[in-house]
Amino acid sequence: MGIFRIIIALVLTASTRAITIPSTPTWPSGRCTDKSLTRPSWILSQYKVSAGTTTFVVNNQATDPTSLSARVTCSLGKTECQSSAGGNQMRATLTTGPDGRPVISIFELWTCSDEGDRVLFTGNGSTTITSCQGTDCTSPITYLVPGTLVLPVPLTPAQPKPPSGFDAPTCASVGEKQWTISGVEYKNYTRGQCKQWYQTDQICLDNGTGTFVGKGQYLKLNVTNNAIAHEVLCSFTPTYNNINPPNPLRCTGGSFNEITLEVTWTGAAPNFQLKVEELWYCLEKPLTNAKPSVIVATGSTSLPLTCESHTGITGTADDIVTICTDPTPSHAIDGAQTAKESLPPFSLITAYPAHGGCTFDSVVNPTFFYRGMYYETNADQTLSRFTAGLTGPGFADYWFYQNKAISGSGVDTVYTCTVYYDGRPKEQHYKCTYAFNANTKTITQDKIWECRDKNPNAPLYFEGTGEFNWGVDPYSSCSKPGQNQTSCYWHDDLATLQPGIPYDIPKVTVSTVNVLPPDYGQPQVQAVEVAPVKTIRENGEWRLAEGN
């Protein structure tokens, strides 16, 4: 290529950094309420069948691990099993599944007092025994019994999905043809491809759109780990402050339960070298081994590419464009294991430590906060002006004003908090109404909020109702603008700053179906039949609602 032929060298430093195995998230001691709302489940161990009698031990994962275990005995021919003293609030049954294997079902009642309030939980779950069948056998593994809560809320918390290929028969195999490399592309631009810059290497004026090809090295390749049939696209696009790919280049992952891949790209066109390092997770023998493991392996290969260089758009001697493609459809890289660790049982498929959140706050201590309160009444005690900010477990600074009355008259007038003209789907609107008695400075509130933090695909809809006396805060200024009229506003810090004046919500009901606002003329927000309530909280205690 004459004077345009160049050798593109990557300025690299030797890297000794290897992928670090992330630590396994572990729950601190206590946290009964958080555990119950996050991973309601049981560990079933010591499963044994002798002369037709089945015995096993059950531990609730939400309660204190030092508490008594329930030792369960299931007699031949009986569905109901008997529990020891440690399981006097637990019931277990033994049935046969459609595939002929034993199925253990568990129902338990327990309480958590770690957050002050004594919260009653009930939940149930089941698991299939996969490695012990017949009248005399012993299971070599323990079993996870995932649970669904009935109280205090109807909830099946989402649990993490295990990484791709974790149960493949070849998952733990490290060696020949560990990875397949394909789709390799490399480009290098010594200058940004623009003739007229508004801001060098950032804004181009050539075509009026501001688009351009930036200076630097571009890299793209696919890496497939054949042991777990997992493919990752590794790519690097230069930016103004970062024109060369880092070494190693992190392609994906980095957190626990994620497949982590890094590549190191070295050499000069057309002869490059590629090093691959990857971390992945395995359950090596799914039917006989409950212990997962994590593996790190590495390998490298040469990548001779076909490269072509030419002058770039500016036509200057220092503007060289180099384009490289791979003449070979794919390359195989052998792997060598560099690290391996065993992980706690079921750590890949049970939720990680969590504290608080929308559902937790709604269950443990549901509270409304009011601030920025102001009202003015007419002679008949209906509202002429009104404003208040409301904060609750699943929302903050929900401001509402005097809006359309939907029922009643005088102090019994019920208003909708907000008129929905926002064009959103009706499913994204929530019932909110209020009435205000100026004589007692009491607001009667009905507000629905949504919690998705425990299961984004199955939200819970909490409805808080009650009377809240604003008069408990004496720092208000009131006047009589006219006969039988009243005007008041609150001016102290508690009533003006976030979050506001706290009030326990006396009644909270929960459903898995949203209750929409009343219809006030907008076709996108239609009234619907009230969804059946599943659970209810009154006087600080959760219980099943009538009819459930």
Query: Which residues make Cβ contacts (< 8 Å) with residue 265, sequence separation at least 6?
Result: 10, 219, 245, 247, 249, 272, 273, 274
In the chain the domains, ranked by start, together with CATH numbers, are: 32-151 (2.40.350), 179-342 (no CATH), 358-544 (no CATH)
Q: Which of 262, 89, 270, 242 is nearest to 186 (CA)?
A: 270
CA distance 154 to 512: 8
Residue 518: predicted pLDDT: 73
Residue among 336, 394, 270, 428 at smallest CA distance from 18: 336
Give the model confidence (pLDDT) of 231-254 as tens digits. 999 999 999 889 999 999 999 999
Closest CA to 432 of 460, 453, 472, 404: 404
* CB neighbour list of residue 64: distance below 8 Å, 6 or more residues apart: 29, 30, 32
Question: What is the per-residue pLDDT across 66-90, written as a single tens digit (0 to 9) for each?
Answer: 566 899 999 988 999 998 866 678 9
Neighbours of 151 (CB within 10 A): 21
Give, in order, the Cα–Cα distances in Å from 63 to each of 35, 56, 142, 146: 8, 19, 18, 15
Is residue 109 within 8 Å of residue 120, measured between CB atoms?
Answer: yes
For all residues of the chain together, what is the average pLDDT? 89
**H or E element that contains 103:** strand 102-115
Question: For residue range 195-221, what is the model confidence (pLDDT) as tens digits?
Answer: 888 888 888 888 666 778 999 999 999
The mean per-residue pLDDT over the stretch 498-516 comes to 92
| Kind of pairing between the strands at 117-128 and 137-138 | unpaired
Tokens of 509: 């009901």
Angle at 300 (CA atoms; ends 295, 305), nearest 5 degrees: 140
Q: Please state whether 308 falls in left (phi above 0), alpha (psi between -120 and 50) or beta.
A: beta
Q: What is the pLDDT of residue 80?
A: 95
Give the pairing of strands 476-479 and 414-416: unpaired
Determine the 3-state secondary structure of 472 from DSSP. Answer: helix
End-to-end alpha carbon distance in the chain:
81
Can you give the pLDDT at residue 234?
97
What is the pLDDT, as a whole number, of residue 286? 65
83 against 302, higher pLDDT: 302
pLDDT category at 3 given cuts 50, 70, 90 is: very low
pLDDT score of 180: 98
Strand partners, 117: 115
Instruction: Yes or no: say if 439 and 471 are a contact pair by the CB < 8 Å rule.
Output: no
Query: Amino acid identity, residue 296?
Result: V
Which of the four pLDDT bands, split at 50, 70 and 90, describes residue 12? very low
* Average pLDDT rounded to a whole number, residues 279-298: 85
The 10s digit of each residue's pLDDT in 366-386 is: 999 999 999 999 989 999 999
AA letter at 162: P
Amino acid at 379: A
